[in-house]
Amino acid sequence: MRYTQLHHAVSHNSTGVVHNKTLTDTLTYLREQDLVQHHQDEDSADYRLTAGGAKLVDLLAEIERWSRQYRTSGSP
């Protein structure tokens, strides 16, 4: 996903303003943790999840699913 698309998506899903520096710092941290990669070619640049990043997304989705079920049923 391109930086501007990321910024729009994050800003749209946030309750506050997401500043460029905040997003840049976060992307740098995620790159350092090997969760995203920055790809650049002659025409464009974008960010992509690594295999570890994709696994983390799957794990967080499973936690979200579990939490919805737990809140709905009222039991573990």
Question: Mean pLDDT of residues grouped by 10 in the chain (76 residues)?
Answer: 89 84 94 96 92 97 92 67
pLDDT at site 74? 62
pLDDT at site 59? 97
What topology is assigned to 3-73 in CATH?
Arc Repressor Mutant, subunit A (1.10.10)
- Rounded distance between C-alpha atoms, residue 41 and residue 46, angstroms: 9
pLDDT at site 71? 82
| Domain extent listing, the chain | 3-73
Nearest to 53 by CA among 35, 73, 27: 35
Give the three-state DSSP class for 73: helix
pLDDT at site 75? 60
Give the three-state DSSP class for 46: strand
